[in-house]
Structure 1
Amino acid sequence: MSVASKIAPGANDTVLAARNVAKSYGSVHALKGVNFDIRRGKVTTLFGENGAGKSTLMKILSGVVTPTSGSIVLDGEEVTFSSSTDARDRGISIIHQELSLAPNLSVRDNIFMGREIKNASGVDFAEEARQTRQLMEDLNEDIDPMTPVEELRLGQQQIVEIARALSVDSRILIMDEPTSALSATEVEVLFKVIRDLTSRGVSIVYISHHLEEALQITDYAVVLRDGSMTAKAEAKDIDLEWIVRNMVGENFDLGSPPTGYEFGDVALSIKDLSVPDPGGSGFSLVDHLSLDIRAGEIVCIYGLMGAGRTELLECVAGRLRSTGGQVLLEGKDVSRLTIAQRIEQGLALVPEDRQRDGLVQTMTVGSNLSLASIRSFVKGMLLSSQRERGLIDQSIRNVHIKTSGGGAAIGSLSGGNQQKVVIGKMLATNPKVVLLDEPSRGIDIGAKAEVFKLLAERATQGIAVLYSTSEVSECLSIAHRIIVMRRGRISAQFGSDVTKEQIMAASGEAVIEA
């Protein structure tokens, strides 16, 4: 495949490079002779759809996996990494897309796990805590070093992952989806940290599906597609259209609200709902909120991190308790029902963190798909394997999952296809209302379009869809109605003709002029 290149060849500032690197897993060719350069003190952004080979390339460069062929060149000399520890000892660190924290350990212990600071009497916990506080301060996060990671929200856990990588003092830092769970303010702080690092000569590789966001920080852009490099350029020579065209072969949007049918009766009614802060602050994360959604209607909830979006959806689904109000499903009060009982009644949630809350990593694709509806295959003490296989095969077709079959390991799928498994699992319960919390988190633009198309199709069949997002572009896609939340309350409601600036203003977010 020819490469559209706008970068002058022969640059002598390359510190780490892949030369004709290929990686195969059996008959699957994840990488096909890729050449990739990381430049000193620059941000090189790697774009590509899920399954394009981005993470595989980064794992090779950081010593996690070994290439099938090709070579790795560090400071002009060919090297072989025996492990990620070997690569780290040579100054190369990686922040993986999926968090690798120990939830039962403190923030301090996670940051220094495996490389504890020692003194004459053993581990110097006081010095570790001091350095942890400094890292949190640098990242503008007020997190106590002794807080167990499991008590942190997802965005804060992402900050801890970033802090752990920064603590190694690497000269090459690979960031695989570092902002997928961060608020706009946290992203801004991270970008300042990145610029500070590059000013000191640190090289950054940045991978993100937030294309417009990535354009703000990149110096060089490289696009992978189906394991091959399709384009590379300097940041000054590219725009969003260039990225999308080279990623997927065409420029397309995330769709538009489905039309040609009428909404049904109210499917979900949220009445005066309040959700307390589990941290015991006394404040309500959702404050006396009321909202009705009709059958066939697609409603989007937009808000900054901390606006109460996630807490609202999790309370409606039964995962969080409320201090007041009701949740009515087709007029029936389900407020006191368990999560399983609400699913049986037709209320399903696709959670924000698919790895922690949506999938069982030790199960196959098929077992994950049938998990939420397993009761429908049981008669007495027997499980009807034939009926279960039928549902699995149908779900794979219905939500267009790219997999070798129901017996494949869930970890063998790309992030976008794993998200489809979570959505397919909930749709298999035949819901009347489906709730989705950040349904496109960590998936590429092509997979996003497929997910939103899938939701639009289900809405035309009479399912009520309520999804939350922190990306304005996703509000302006398939939603018939947009709800803006701010500090636990609804601050504005709009139709599909709203502008990006109106949504951001209603959320309290500053609108940055181009």
Structure 2
Amino acid sequence: MSSTILEMKAITKEFPGVKALDNVNLEVEKGEIHALVGENGAGKSTLMKVLSGVHPVGTYQGEIRFEDATCQFQSINESEAEGIVIIHQELALIPEMTIAENIFLGNEQKKAQFIDWKVTYKKAENLLKQVGMKIDPNDLIKHIGVGQQQLVEIAKALSKKVKLLILDEPTAALNETESRNLLSLLKTLKSEGITSIIITHKLKEVLSISDKVTILRDGKTIETLMNNDDLTENRIIQGMVGRDLTDLFPERNCKIGDITFEVEDWTIGHPQIANRKVVNEVNLNVKEGEIVGIAGLMGAGRTELMMSIFGRTYGKYIKGSIKIKGKERKISTVSEAIKHGIAYVSEDRKEYGLILNDSIKQNISLSNLKNIKNKITINNSEETKVANKYREKLNIKAPSIEQEVINLSGGNQQKVVLGKWIYTNPDILILDEPTRGIDVGAKNEIYKIMNELAEEGKSIIVVSSELPELIGLCDRIYTLSEGRITGEFPVQDVEQEKLMSYMTVEGSK
């Protein structure tokens, strides 16, 4: 690389009760793709928010130099004016506006005092071509998928004459094809001289795309590694967690018993489109102490199936039955699902799993308030006792149980959701993408929790987009395609290629 484009020296950032960054150093060369990795809470996103002006000068200590000039950004607008653009994990697009309007939002193409729509749409069309999208700039954001929305965000960055592009977990919500296309685009942008910093927990992506890897741990810089033939996932993991994770998937010691949960001929219609079946005649079962996986591509109906089982929270019920320990149960509401021992950890913890501005304590007790009520009020001392119990049991890292959940890392937020549902003492636990967006260390902890629950005799259903995760965790795996079960396999008899072949067959077969 020809020269250094970015230097961050001795960056220290504190929040109340937490030192998020402690004397962090980062150096990035012009035209490279630089990966920033670490466990949840290591300080990656905070460091990038410092760089981009989200955390303005004066709220941190240390020095930032960009293109050999000292930077003291007061806002994100100031960093963007210098060519530093950050794309956050939660995309900042307005669903009801067009693609073109979103691309130039805050950067409107004006003619005198009015927006020049002809220029706006022409430039948007050119930017979309640059990121490989063949789509009408007049389309509304709400009518395109998450993968395409991610590309729109990059087009928006390019419209601001980006020199340094920061991407925070850009492929977290994308399928394999979309992820591959996005990473390919970053390589194309690199060839055009654009520097990128990518934050990701997907270490295969790190090895496939980055030139260098900087590892953060507990708010400190651990090391920067060159990505060469000697660099492996295990070497990166060792730096991230301070130890080798030789057994990412803990050994199973569960005694599998009788069938506890059965779904028969389960058929659910689309909530808006008449005569369209989203879940079609699904049959599955789970035994006591068993972990069963659901493998399917995005759009196969995985989440729709789980939500419809959990108190019919999705779609229109057409037919089918649920049996628990051999007895048919009518479960048409969430409260009935909880009453019959079913718990559901949603794939979107921020939207459906947590009240972000409430404390750890309030979130954990939320699903079982009747257990801690004192007549018509909440028994605060009992609520505190319960929250401390699950904080310790699940190793939730936070200054106290009064900490607002919004300030926790993704892995710790996920543990709070698990704690909330474990507190209901369920017999059947449905986990929808339980490790999405969390680091390898937190994944390992959650896998251990799942194993412990299975050892206690719980029946667990896991939905995951990561086939190695399903193979490493489960006793049996069902494949789902177009709303239908297309296969059922004992885990010892299955490989990724076999699962994928059954995940891609037509659901009607």
Same fold (TM over 0.5): yes
| 2:322 alignment partner AA | V
Q: Is residue 95–residue 175 contact of structure 1 (8 Å, CA) maintained in 2?
A: yes
Aligned residue number for residue 184 of structure 1: 176
Aligned residue number for residue 254 of structure 1: 248
| C-alpha spacing 1:257/1:279, structure 2 compared with 1 (3 Å) | farther
1:369 deviates by 1.1
Partner of 1:476, secondary structure, is helix
1:508 deviates by 3.6
Answering whether residue 414 of structure 2 is matched by residue 422 of structure 1, we say no
Aligned residue number for residue 5 of structure 1: none
1:474 deviates by 0.6
In structure 1, runs of 5+ residues without a counterpart are 1-10, 510-514
Aligned residue number for residue 290 of structure 2: 297
1:425 deviates by 0.9
Q: Is residue 254–residue 474 contact of structure 1 (8 Å, CA) maintained in 2?
A: no
Aligned residue number for residue 202 of structure 1: 194
Aligned residue number for residue 175 of structure 1: 167
Answering whether residue 206 of structure 2 is matched by residue 211 of structure 1, we say no
Instruction: Summarize deviations over 1:284-322 as a string: whole Å, max 9, x none.
Output: 332221101112110111222222211111111122123
Aligned partners of 2:411, 2:281: CA distance in 1, in Å?
A: 35
Instruction: Summarize deviations over 1:341-374 as a string: whole Å, max 9, x none.
Output: 2123221111111111111122111111111112
Answering whether residue 215 of structure 2 is matched by residue 223 of structure 1, we say yes
In structure 2, runs of 5+ residues without a counterpart are none
| 2:47 alignment partner AA | L
| 2:195 alignment partner AA | S
Aligned partners of 1:377, 1:309: CA distance in 2, in Å?
A: 34
Aligned residue runs from structure 1 range 15-54, under 5 A:
15-26=5-16, 28-54=18-44
| 1:250 alignment partner AA | D
Q: Is residue 23–residue 31 contact of structure 1 (8 Å, CA) maintained in 2?
A: yes
Paired residues, number = 497
Q: Is residue 96–residue 140 contact of structure 2 (8 Å, CA) maintained in 1?
A: no
Aligned residue number for residue 3 of structure 1: none
Q: Is residue 294–residue 464 contact of structure 2 (8 Å, CA) maintained in 1?
A: yes
Aligned residue number for residue 386 of structure 2: 391
1:465 to 460, 463, 483: 460
- Identify which range, 491-500 or 201-210, moves more after superposition: 491-500
Aligned residue number for residue 489 of structure 2: 494
Answering whether residue 312 of structure 2 is matched by residue 316 of structure 1, we say no
1:27 deviates by 5.6
Q: Is residue 19–residue 70 contact of structure 1 (8 Å, CA) maintained in 2?
A: yes
- Identify which range, 408-417 or 28-37, moves more after superposition: 28-37
1:474 to 435, 446, 469: 469
1:273 deviates by 1.9
Aligned residue runs from structure 1 range 281-296, under 5 A:
283-296=276-289
Aligned residue runs from structure 1 range 243-282, under 5 A:
243-248=236-241, 249-256=243-250, 258-263=252-257, 265-278=258-271, 280=273
1:411 deviates by 1.9
1:26 deviates by 5.0
Partner of 1:323, secondary structure, is strand
Aligned partners of 1:461, 1:435: CA distance in 2, in Å?
A: 16
1:483 to 465, 471, 478: 478
| C-alpha spacing 1:96/1:141, structure 2 compared with 1 (3 Å) | farther
| 1:414 alignment partner AA | S
| 2:24 alignment partner AA | V
Partner of 1:447, secondary structure, is helix
Instruction: Summarize deviations over 1:166-185 as a string: whole Å, max 9, x none.
Output: 44341211001011010111
Q: Is residue 58–residue 174 contact of structure 1 (8 Å, CA) maintained in 2?
A: yes
Aligned partners of 1:32, 1:96: CA distance in 2, in Å?
A: 22
Answering whether residue 60 of structure 2 is matched by residue 64 of structure 1, we say no
Instruction: Summarize deviations over 1:172-208 as a string: whole Å, max 9, x none.
Output: 1100101101011111111122122111111110111
Aligned partners of 1:49, 1:352: CA distance in 2, in Å?
A: 20
Q: Is residue 257–residue 479 contact of structure 1 (8 Å, CA) maintained in 2?
A: no
| 2:497 alignment partner AA | E
Aligned partners of 2:29, 2:271: CA distance in 1, in Å?
A: 45
Partner of 1:372, secondary structure, is helix
- Identify which range, 180-189 or 117-126, moves more after superposition: 117-126
Aligned residue runs from structure 1 range 232-247, under 5 A:
232-236=224-228, 237-247=230-240
Q: Is residue 37–residue 215 contact of structure 2 (8 Å, CA) maintained in 1?
A: yes
1:160 deviates by 5.1
| C-alpha spacing 1:500/1:493, structure 2 compared with 1 (3 Å) | same
1:214 deviates by 2.4
Aligned partners of 1:402, 1:272: CA distance in 2, in Å?
A: 43
Q: Is residue 213–residue 227 contact of structure 2 (8 Å, CA) maintained in 1?
A: yes
1:476 deviates by 2.2
- Identify which range, 380-389 or 174-183, moves more after superposition: 380-389
Answering whether residue 502 of structure 2 is matched by residue 506 of structure 1, we say yes
- Identify which range, 40-49 or 105-114, moves more after superposition: 105-114
Aligned residue number for residue 374 of structure 1: 369
1:119 deviates by 4.0
- Identify which range, 446-455 or 37-46, moves more after superposition: 37-46
1:159 deviates by 5.2
Instruction: Summarize deviations over 1:365-408 as a string: whole Å, max 9, x none.
Output: 11111111123333543322232222222221222211122211
| C-alpha spacing 1:200/1:260, structure 2 compared with 1 (3 Å) | closer
1:22 deviates by 2.2
Q: Considering only aligned residues, what root-mean-square deviation do their CA atoms show, in Å?
A: 2.7
| C-alpha spacing 1:68/1:144, structure 2 compared with 1 (3 Å) | closer
| C-alpha spacing 1:260/1:64, structure 2 compared with 1 (3 Å) | closer
Aligned partners of 2:117, 2:274: CA distance in 1, in Å?
A: 29
1:446 deviates by 0.2
Aligned partners of 2:145, 2:318: CA distance in 1, in Å?
A: 21
| C-alpha spacing 1:336/1:458, structure 2 compared with 1 (3 Å) | closer
| 2:496 alignment partner AA | K
